[in-house]
Structure 1
Amino acid sequence: MLYLELAQLYEKLEGTSKRLEKTEILQEFLKKLKHEKNKEVVYLLQGRVFPDYDERVIGISTQLAIKALSKATGVSSSEIVKKWKTGGDLGLVAEEIMKKKKQSALFLKKLMIGNVFGNLKKLPELVGKGAVDKKLGLISELFTSASPLETRYIMRTIIGDLRIGVGSGTLRDAIVWACFGKEDKEAYSFVQGAYDRSTDFALIFESACKGKKSLEHIELVPGQPVKVMLAQKVSSIAEGFETVGKPAAFEFKYDGFRLLITKNKNDIKLFTRRLENVTKQFPDVVKYVKENIRGENFIVDSEAAGFDPKTKKYRPFQEISQRIRRKYDIEKLERELPVEINVFDLIYYNGKNLIKEEFEKRRKLLEKIIKVEKWKIRLAKQIITSDEKEAERFYKMAVAEGEEGIMIKNLKAPYKPGARVGYMVKMKPTANEFDLVIVKAGYGTGKRGGWLSSYTVACEKNGKLAEIGKVSTGLKEKTELGVSFEQLSKLLKPLIIGERGREVSVKPKIIVTVTYQNIQRSPTYESGFALRFPRFTALRPDKTEIASLGDIETEYKRQQR
């Protein structure tokens, strides 16, 4: 298949903000792709070349991409940067430059999708001496063979800024429409369930082409992460019982980060809820698992909570989150920021998929295979009750002990990977806060000069992002006092994809928790709302989901009562 066909698809998708139109466009392309041998092209529909569970990314900096474009076109890097700063979209800049190319050796042969996919897959594998030059060669080779339109999307793909608005839900629906028809309601759950178990859209599409039975045969694989089950929010014990039924399991909600533990024979791997492999960052947890969880192979769901090694007091998530990202000084952090694993679910054990088993049965099996060792690994503290007063006392005990709140769970429920269904809910002390993603940032002045010190945050709206306000308070001047402007600037600067004056646009990768006083209607932001007195409270490297516009609207209506 010609890469031009994919580029034209991208252009159509970019041309509409309507999800149904995007789904229709995608399904027509997927119908053609059904007859192609290589189904991995599906990854490119989301700007990837590997499955979602694979931590490898294309990972090309804008500087290297600009250098490759310069090599392919003869236009100086400084001229490219100048155009980029004016327009803000490096893909469109590349397209414009290619239209006025200086070299005559372009377009000697048609660019095939296989060529693009092959070159892109090689990029993450190139490390060590000479790697930069080899990457430069692979990228400029693609630019040299590309038409202007193809150049736009090759550039956007390699820098991770595709801009076509295709989320997982849209791609899932397009696969259903292409393989089963949009009226087949049952097919949606088959495709979604298979994705939640495998997090691999190429495998899903290939299986869907063969039918529903093939999708059913996609199983959990120890060593490969799955999307964790998520909880809805409730504001009272009564609402919790109403959602999950009576009796219910009540468990402490720990102030830590979600950790999926997998073991396949002697191979133990640890994943965050974002499917990031953090095994190397937590050698202590690997040791605890080896010594305290009995089984040949399993997938365990847990929460890792940090504590002070001297006082044995639990520490807030924000203090231990640095262990997730850190690639060096592992042993030092292990001593200074130890974690305790709170295990609460088991979804695969010794060759058996347990996600359809009732929660109370999964919990009983957990109790048999976990050897509790204080400050290392334990079962989540739990009671089972139908009594609101007893549940309320348990909730107050959790808060008094410094935990975030409680989880309330349906005893008969299966485990639904990736879903936020009414099988479990969470209850926390009332706090006006949302998890949002940073999409823009502004350079500071005075003592904050050189730092990005104000941040435009966005919520999710129909698979895209909608801005909802600017945050500039809550961070520290000095790193030793907490998350600082300098620390956040270091995270954001490699993600810059455009500049306009003192403001930069960044890839939407950094999720933060923002508190606020109330929500107001606002024509200033695309969401239609603005947060009043927003304040940064935490970096959330463990999260992939952000608040939706629906969440914002729900809270806005609630505060109007």
Structure 2
Amino acid sequence: MRLARVVRASGEAAATRSRKAKVQALAAVLGEVEPAETEVAAAYLSGRLLQRRTGLGWRSLAVLPPPADEPSLELREVHEALERISVLAGPGSQAARAAAVESLLRRATAAEQEWLRAVLTGQVRQGALDAVLQEAVAQAAGIPVTLVRRAAMLSGSTVEVATVALREGADALDRIGLTVGRPVLPMLASSAPAVAAAMTKAAPGRAAGIDTKLDGIRIQVHRRGDDVRIWTRSLDEITARLPEVVEAVGSLAADDLVLDGEALLLGPDGRPRAFQETASRVATAGGDLQVTPYFFDVLHADGHDLLDSPASRRWQVLADLVPERHLAPRLVTDSEEEAAAFLAAALQAGHEGVVVKDPEATYAAGRRGASWVKVKPVHTLDLVVVAVEWGSGRRKGRLSNIHLAARDGDSLVLLGKTFKGMTDEMLAWQTERFTELATSPVDGSSYVVSLRPEQVVEVALDGVQRSPRYPGGVALRFARVVRYRDDKGPEEADTLETVRALLPPS
């Protein structure tokens, strides 16, 4: 298949706000592609590459060579060229990479060049997130979308599922199950402003599980015999960095396990340390500081998949396997007063808040719904940094004031900016990070530096207010940085709808 066909479909998806039309545009390509190119086509249709890194950034793609008059590039050729570029290393690799990418781009038409630059810098904005691609796969293969979604959850990869569905059909998808040693997408929580509202949302009229919300690193731990492996919520393996977690899980009385939990750094007084300290510790292997694992769910135990079991059953299995010192504190109650007291105790102990859970719910891997509802006393939002300003005074020479945006369909909508909450260490980090993401000069000639919309930041705020100054009609009140979320991509940032829900009644 020609690259031009994918580029045309990407443009069609970007040009419409209709989800149905997006699905149809992608499904048409998937229905035409040769089996050998299915994986590449699916990845490209979702605006991603199969290579994790290519070594190519905005600077190396700022000036494009003269384009080709007619399309000739095949998907396979593009993938193979990028694969060769991705493994270049050592002396002379920069020049070799520049020559290789120029050779590739000279064979591309103007439209293909722009699309390649966008996909190489993470700026394909067509609204084709995983959920849309999954619907397109289902339509192209003529199989139920529920089957595609479940297989994607269990395999951790929509691209992999697209390949199986289009090459082998529904029966092959149906055989994709939870495999110990292969991570699944984690279940996610929605939000509520108070415990009472969360209980009504998660388990109306019934008792709910009230879990302490630990502010650590989300971990999914798989054990098969003596082999223990650990992944983050973004499915990056970090086994070598957490030997203490490997030891704790290796000591449990089970042969096969899949556990869901948090890794948390504690102080000498037993109170949780700041998230940044935990993240810093997890970023390196070993060291004097040890994290403590706390588990709140079990997905598999000794040959038995538990994804489709009610949460109450999973909690019992977990309690039978894991010692109390490694269990996230939980209260099961139908009393709003008891739940509120549990929240107050969690906050007093230095934790973020609570997650209210439906005891009857199955484990919805990769989904955010009403079965898990988080409650935090301070409003927080995960937003995308789209620009940054040079600092002044003691921040002179540092990239400081960040511009914050929420998702709105295929677009990002600016909500405001802040420099509050930034430590000197954070300023140094973000200056380096945003220099890498810059799409405009960082030589000081411009006060504002535009960025590729890739970095997610968690901000705390006192609320939102109506404002004609910003295109979304709302602005943040007293936003301050809590932490940068390297475990989240921009597609996981909060939506404008979520932000508007924080508006006071008019």
Query: Residue in 1 aligned with 2:12?
Result: 12
Q: Would you say the 8 A contact 2:390–2:399 is kept in 1?
A: yes
Query: For 1:201-280, what aligned pairs fall within 5 Å after superposition?
Result: 201-209=158-166, 210-242=168-200, 243-245=202-204, 246-280=206-240
Query: Residue in 2 aligned with 1:141?
Result: 103
- In 2 relative to 1, CA 151–241 (structure 1 residues): closer, same or farther, beyond 3 Å? closer
- In 2 relative to 1, CA 151–389 (structure 1 residues): closer, same or farther, beyond 3 Å? closer
1:363 to 285, 310, 315: 315
Is there any run of 5+ residues in structure 2 with no aligned partner, and where?
A: none
CA distance in 2, matches of 1:399, 1:193: 36
Q: Would you say the 8 A contact 2:310–2:362 is kept in 1?
A: yes
Query: Residue in 1 aligned with 2:457?
Result: 512
Query: Residue in 1 aligned with 2:430?
Result: 488
Query: For 1:315-330, what aligned pairs fall within 5 Å after superposition?
Result: 315-324=273-282, 326-327=283-284, 330=285
Q: Which amino acid aligns with 2:502?
A: E
Query: For 1:34-73, what aligned pairs fall within 5 Å after superposition?
Result: 35-40=34-39, 41-50=41-50, 56-63=52-59, 65-66=60-61
Query: Residue in 1 aligned with 2:157?
Result: 200
Give secondary structure in 2 for the equivalent of 1:47. coil
Deviation digits for residues 213-252 of structure 1, max 9, x if unmatched?
4332222233332221112223444334333142322222
Q: Would you say the 8 A contact 2:379–2:463 is kept in 1?
A: yes
Quote how far apart the aligned CAs of 1:131 are.
4.1
Quote how far apart the aligned CAs of 1:422 are.
2.1
CA distance in 2, matches of 1:382, 1:139: 54
Query: Residue in 1 aligned with 2:2?
Result: 2
Query: For 1:80-99, what aligned pairs fall within 5 Å after superposition?
Result: 90=62, 94=64, 97-99=65-67
Deviation digits for residues 363-397 of structure 1, max 9, x if unmatched?
2222233245x5xxx01122323333333332222
Q: Which amino acid aligns with 2:297?
A: D
1:527 to 466, 472, 479: 472
Is there any run of 5+ residues in structure 1 with no aligned partner, and where?
A: 67-89, 100-105, 182-186
Identity %: 26
Tell me the C-alpha RMSD between the 2 structures: 2.7
Q: Would you say the 8 A contact 2:127–2:409 is kept in 1?
A: no
Quote how far apart the aligned CAs of 1:123 are.
3.7
Quote how far apart the aligned CAs of 1:438 are.
0.6
TM-score by length of 1: 0.81
- In 2 relative to 1, CA 49–365 (structure 1 residues): closer, same or farther, beyond 3 Å? same
CA distance in 2, matches of 1:109, 1:458: 36
Query: For 1:67-466, what aligned pairs fall within 5 Å after superposition?
Result: 90=62, 94=64, 97-99=65-67, 110-180=72-142, 187-209=144-166, 210-242=168-200, 243-245=202-204, 246-290=206-250, 292-308=251-267, 310-324=268-282, 326-327=283-284, 330-331=285-286, 334-336=287-289, 338-371=290-323, 374=325, 378-429=326-377, 431-466=378-413
Q: Which amino acid aligns with 1:179?
A: A
CA distance in 1, matches of 2:396, 2:195: 48
Q: Would you say the 8 A contact 2:14–2:410 is kept in 1?
A: no
Give secondary structure in 2 for the equivalent of 1:422. strand
TM-score by length of 2: 0.89
Q: Would you say the 8 A contact 1:26–1:171 is kept in 2?
A: yes
CA distance in 1, matches of 2:70, 2:370: 57
CA distance in 2, matches of 1:464, 1:217: 37
Q: Which amino acid aligns with 1:395?
A: L
Quote how far apart the aligned CAs of 1:116 are.
0.4
CA distance in 2, matches of 1:163, 1:391: 42
Quote how far apart the aligned CAs of 1:59 are.
4.1
Quote how far apart the aligned CAs of 1:115 are.
0.7
